[in-house]
A and B are shown apart, each in its own frame.
Chain A
Amino acid sequence: MSAVDQPLLRVESLTRYFGARAACRDVSFDLWPGEVMGVVGESGSGKTTLLNCLSARLRPDAGRVLYQTRHEGVVDIYDLREAERRLLMRTDWGLVHQNPRDGLRMGVSAGANIGERLMAVGARHYGEIRDAASAWLGRVEIDLSRIDDRPRAFSGGMQQRLQIARNLVTAPRIVFMDEPTGGLDVSVQARLLDLLRELVRELHLSVVIVTHDLAVVRLLAHRLLVMRQGEVVEAGLTDQVLDDPQHPYTQLLVSSVLQA
């Protein structure tokens, strides 16, 4: 089987306990290149725990996360040496936090924020780093004159876009997003979603996006996992799940959305 026929990420019966409580139980799915997977559910349903386990930041108690690397075939990310895992996180993977303050270096300029990953993988030419930073600021629609400003001086929406640029500069294959639109007003949300949709299509990114906002997954996600109390209660194509929910909880979730 060639690499194209294999999922980029395969999750097998992922389980994580906090004490006796399962935050995340027996979750399995495949993520294919270019696919956007939405994970929805109420607060405390285990969405973020799942994301942390997937993005190599929280070792699961059982189950495996298999990743199709560029050159070395399929690996279980928790079998990798720590150095390899951290390199993977800096190059092949991106992580967009809900709060941009968690994902940005607030003390250094926007340009340095974007350039950091490049320098971390060995870029040593200032002019080239600067050019890459400028190009990415343009792509995420931040004015070039802001390149030497600190993210502190940016609005919430700009900070979030800067965080996305900072992650995408090394051309990752998977981006994990935790509530990327949380805390933004609706018009800014709409622009951000537009931008994300464009970047995903252009760069053929695979994305796992965790959110409680059904409108976000409706716009972005190809497939959907609905989580409740640590378990996946329904999975399928986004439109199918949202338009014809089968599980009582999904029906409740879909009918809870206020119509404007």
Chain B
Amino acid sequence: MNTGGYNFAYLDEQTKRMLRRTILKAVAIPGYQVPFGDREMPMPHGWGTGGIQVTAAIIGPDDVLKVIDQGADDTTNAVSIRKFFAKTAGVATTTRTEDATIVQTRHRIPEKPLHEGQILVYQVPIPEPLRWLEPRETETRKMHALSEYGIMHVRLYEDIATHGRIATSYDYPVQVNDRYMMRPSPIPKFDNPKMDMNPALQLFGAGREKRIYAVPPYTKVKSLDFDDYPFEVQSWDQSCALCGAGDSFLDEIITSDRGDRMFVCSDSDYCQDRQAARSKEAAE
């Protein structure tokens, strides 16, 4: 196999062993943030170095990798990470969700349901859900240890008091397996229900903050809410302008200086599949 002079998947074997030990611990304690030794990667923090290191630790020669950024396979971040692993690990890549064994993602969960055996790797900017109210790491660790999560609701209270509803729309806090409070990374809350009892393994890597956490397959993931203000996901008046989907997460795209706009699926693979099926139907 030609990996361009790099060790398989860029990282050295000792580093990958360290990462695997971290991941195993994270899987054993769902939602708990496990510290790890972050390595310098050939791209800056904020470009998904946490997710890339997790992917590098778990990827094998037979894996098929899909990388998405905001749901799309063709954005800069997705393309460069996909090429990175194609070069340093020589693995097959795909844009089709159902064909991938590993999906590395930034800000979305694919629309197509994941199945057993697949691994979803999230890129995480800030892993600590309690950080906004408590700047001290010693204190947030203690709060996690003692399950003192009451203050998370203070944030939702403020949302309702200010906006009349829970206005937090992404990075919406969840409680994993009835125990640890977790930040799902900046995915829209539209995707939160997909995390619950998902058959795929979900791994989260935060490079700058040096934390890895995980949600094992078929694990309960509950979005926080109030009894009288239950958790809700976003909805749109439109359907996707390209494929007509009414059940997917839509991006608003400005199409002219006069304020024309269209709404299209953020998941490019899902949208293209539906468009292909449509034109096939039309042809028949």
Q: Please list the residues of chain A having a beta carbon within 8 angstroms of any beta carbon in chain B.
A: 82-83, 86, 105, 107-109, 111-112, 115-117, 119-122, 124-127, 129-130, 147-148
Taking CB atoms, residues of chain A closer than 8 Å to B151 are 116, 119-120
For A82, list chain B residues within 8 Å (CB): 142, 146
Given the complex, which residues of B lie within 8 Å of A109, measured CB to CB?
158, 161-162
Which residues of B are at the interface with A, using a C-beta cutoff of 8 A? 133, 142, 146, 148, 150-151, 153-154, 157-158, 160-162, 225-229
Known: A86-B148, A115-B154. 9 other contacts (CB 8 A): A105-B154, A112-B161, A120-B150, A124-B225, A124-B226, A129-B157, A130-B161, A147-B161, A148-B162
- The distance from the CB of A43 to the nearest CB of chain B, in whole angstroms, is 29
Closest 5 CB pairs of A and B: A120-B150, A119-B153, A126-B226, A119-B150, A125-B227
Which residues of B have CB within 8 Å of A130?
161
Q: Which of B142, B158, B162, B228 is close to A125, meaning CB atoms less than 8 Å apart?
A: B228
Closest B residue to A127 using CB positions = B228
> By the criterion CB–CB under 8 Å, are A116 and B150 in contact?
yes
In the complex the two chains form, is A148's CB within 8 Å of B161's CB?
A: yes
Known interface pairs A86-B146, A86-B148, A126-B229; A108-B154 also in contact (CB < 8 Å)? yes
CA distance A120 to B153 in the complex (A): 8
Residues of B within 8 A of A115 (CB): 154, 157
Cβ-defined contact, A122 with B150, below 8 A: yes
B150 touches A126 (CB 8 A): no
Could you tell me if A120 and B161 are in contact, using CB atoms closer than 8 angstroms? no
Contact A111 B153 (CB under 8 A): no
Tell me, in angstroms, the Cα distance from A126 to B153 when the chains sit together. 9
Q: Who on chain A is nearest to B143 by CB? A: A86
Distance in Å: Cβ of A104 to nearest Cβ of chain B = 12
Alpha-carbon distance A86/B148, docked complex (angstroms): 9
Q: Which residues of B contact A108 (CB under 8 A)?
A: 154, 158
A108 to B133, CA, bound (A): 9
A83 with B146: in contact, given A119-B153, A124-B153, A125-B227 (CB under 8 Å)? yes
